[in-house]
Amino acid sequence: MVVTEALQRTQDNLAIVIDERAMACVHGDSGLGKTLSVNASLRELAPAETVRVQFRSHPYLRDIRGVLFDALELPGPKPIHPLEFDTLLKDKLSERFRVLVCDEAQWMSTECFELWRHLWDDPHTDIAIIFVGGANCYKVLQREAMLSSRVLLWQKFEPLTPAEVMAVMPVYHPIWAEADLEIILLANRRAGHGNFRAWARVTVLAVRALKHLKRTTVDEEVLAWVCDRLGGQEPA
């Protein structure tokens, strides 16, 4: 993991959210480091208070209640009736402060968002909520006026700029520390596109390419070997 401007901004934003017992939304395209940045920040800010939950696509209310029940390590059988279940969750969330992290938030329905709002609005619960989601997460949450009006901070993740790529990639892996900056920019144009997940694939294959081609430094031939195996990449 390398420190980027987005990671630093995430940590600053989440510090505010924790202090204010507020809600936040961290959103952006896949592979840009949203979840990693949130998790890394919370390991620094609230390691003992963080509760992470993630759901399959389009969860039902019972899924959210059930996952929270397990994540909060509540004893006994799960309540059958929703009112009883919500009371149990609120009682647990009133015992001490917790940060609830909901990943892939864009999959949730209005009813599910209303449950999160209900838990946060309760005067006795002591929680902050962080929604993390893909590119359309912002639009999905904005449609939920009752919830979005309560979100204190919105942070959008963007692809790394070429300048950031030149600064970050040499720290990310030793093969890029030894490569010319022009080669790093070429790799970004052809396959990386400022996306950390894409750069991880490029790096894995580049390491193998160096061994296969018996090279010590990434050059255009190494990149050609990598891009040929990635497939679907645009020429520089």
Please give the pLDDT value at position 58. 87
Q: Which amino acid is at 211?
A: K
Confidence of residue 1 (pLDDT cuts 50, 70, 90): confident
Could you tell me if 185 and 149 are in contact, meaning their C-beta atoms sit under 8 angstroms apart? Answer: no
pLDDT at 234 over 60: no
Residue corresponding to tokens 């070997």? 225
Transcribe the chain into DSSP letters. Answer: ----HHHHHHHHHHHHHHHHT-EEEEEESTTSSHHHHHHHHHHHH-TTTEEEEE--SS--HHHHHHHHHHHTT--SSPPSSHHHHHHHHHHHHTTS-EEEEEESGGG--HHHHHHHHHHHHSTT--EEEEEEE-TTHHHHHHT-HHHHTTEEEEEEE-PPPHHHHHHHHHHH-HHHHSS-HHHHHHHIIIIITT-HHHHHHHHHHHHHHHHHTT-SS--HHHHHHHHHHH-SPPP-
pLDDT at 236 over 70: no
Please give the pLDDT value at position 135. 82
The whole-number average pLDDT for the span 33-38 is 95
Please give the pLDDT value at position 233. 57
Here the tokens at position 56 are 């399959």
Please give the pLDDT value at position 22. 98
Please give the pLDDT value at position 73. 95
Encode pLDDT of 174-228 as tens digits: 999 999 999 999 999 999 999 999 999 999 999 999 999 999 999 999 999 999 9
pLDDT at 235 over 80: no
Using CA atoms, how far apart are residues 222 and 219, in angstroms rounded to an integer?
5
Q: Which amino acid is at 198?
A: A
Using CA atoms, how far apart are residues 2 and 168, in angstroms rounded to an integer?
7
In words, the CATH class of domain 5-157 is alpha beta
* Percent of the chain residues topping a pLDDT of 90: 93
Using CA atoms, how far apart are residues 211 and 204, in angstroms rounded to an integer?
11
Nearest Cα residue to 128 out of 25, 8, 231: 25
Encode pLDDT of 119-155 as tens digits: 999 999 999 999 999 989 999 999 999 999 999 999 9
Mean of all residue pLDDT scores within the chain: 94
